[in-house]
Structure 1
Amino acid sequence: MSGEFDLIRRFFARPAPEGFLGPGDDCALMPAEAGTELAVSADLLVEGRHFFSDVDPVSLGHKSLAVNLSDLAAMGARPLGCFLSLSLPRADERWLQGFSRGFHALAERHACPLLGGDTVRSNRDTTIGVTVIGQLPAGSALRRDAALAGDDVWISGELGAADVALRLLQVRSAGDEALLAAARGALEWPQPQLALGQALRGLAHAAIDVSDGLLQDLGHILAASGCGAELRYDAMPVADCLLGLDAQLLRQAVLCGGDVYQLCFTASPQARPDIVRAAQQAGAKVSRIGRTVAQPGLTVLDADGGPIVLTGNAGFDHFA
């Protein structure tokens, strides 16, 4: 490859949709519809911190965009486009082919064209920066500060598998191959719940995507809304592949494990039938796992109604 612009042309340039201006100018241009507002989110993925150096580049390309689209899903937004910045130690053609294939496949699936970005050579590690822009009707966003005492607490999808896969990859011990194979997809191929997020507009009060752990991320909703919550552990949608795992490890993975990228949201109990129907139409699984309460704090109850005490971290800390 001859340089930066050849790299962009070969692996990342795609025709922009009609009415958009994509890569090749100083800025991208996109149309803005009357009566709507934009939702914008940006994330960094750093080698050694957020992904292993030997991860499949196709899955890494997918995940780099998926974690950002999950933020749009949490707000109830429809994707408009995205921007990608790469800091690479070298222009590895095989890596770039895989990464761009995974990235573009997810972008095309959710009508989120790549409209620009930047590339630069790094001294050592790979850093991936993605910005996504979405659109939604003005005033309809699902915000963290809108939960009300007495709301149901819901979660989409399943919990625990991504955290267990991460732990197994960190240890890389023999004898866990079957469990790793069953859990690994949850870690490396998260599926952003965009259809569900849009279907929840007008039904859910508050929402967040679970990236750093259920308890930690739900805690952000509770802090912003000035309320607390009681959750039932026996209502948690535990991934089937984790059945039989040590009980303490399983609880930690389910309640505190990150990289889930499912939606946690609150809604009035009167909205239960509509939420179930909306989830079915969106092709999503949802579980009612507790309720919000007026008193601040977050409690998880076991099957007998007693509080569960966790001894590990409550969630992922990006600076720990």
Structure 2
Amino acid sequence: MRILVTGGAGFIGSHFVRELLSGAYPHWENARTVVLDKLTYAGNPANLAPVADDPNLTFVQGDICDPVVVDDLMRDVDLVVHFAAESHVDRSIADASAFVRTNVQGTFTLLEAAVRAGVGRFVHVSTDEVYGSIEHGAWAEDQPLSPNSPYAATKAASDHLALAFHRTHGLPVCVTRCSNNYGPYQYPEKVIPLFATNLLDGLTVPLYGDGRNSRDWLHVDDHCRGIQLVASKGRPGEVYHIGGGTELSNAELTARLLDICGADATAVRRVPDRKGHDLRYCLDISKITAELGYAPRTGFAEGIAETVEWYRTHRDWWEPLKATPPGTT
């Protein structure tokens, strides 16, 4: 079996690759794995260091928007797992051009190449943010998309493209939409690693607005296991939600992190709210549970404690990233 993983040096993609090559996924133990990653600021070869010497891993630095590179790698591929994306909402508000190029044009380039190569399965990894905001209840997979940020709009566009390639060309596409991920190796611009590393250094943390914005939290290991289930057994043309089952307001999340890091409320710095900040996300995961047997395994209390401990003991990974933010070199 040959698997092409785009964005495999990023936070979620690298976890998927490490688990895959370690034999965690049944029947994929000897899969030949090709990682395609542009190595933007969020892609880091160190994320793949634990498996760098695995003979089944091939790493290619390249752009998913480059049809020559993509066509070459797509030959003889049985499965594409497409993680590669620009994903930070604040960056999309400041300048959405890279998001349109990578998330829309890049996905289109991959889909076209997959059709030409006759790929057996294509899993497009997306986000709950494509739905906008929900006041009560939870979204099912047939909820109309209503994105509010430029990031979410580009992901919604790529979702539509992926499903259209299934309907038009018969490409066996599945789309996964996840809730907020956390875990080790997450670039320290996202809220949990940013807050954890700031607190570990005795710094303050910036809490948006009144802190009422609510998210469901999903450990990256549960997310990747859900993706593997969809890749193995999901029905082509279908969307599957992957959630974690722990909903917290940003204020509640901050309080948890303060407690784990031994800080108090004086470490919280209130900042103006993000433009177009969605109030609440929540996914109904009954479909993937009933069809594929998915359930989150990592409890949030355990997962967040282990995540903070990872950042505490891996300063050599994150300190250089925070010392030289993107655009400062």
TM-score of the superposed pair, with normalisation by structure 2: 0.29
The answer to which structure has the higher helix fraction is: 2
TM-score of the superposed pair, with normalisation by structure 1: 0.29
The answer to which structure has the higher strand fraction is: 1
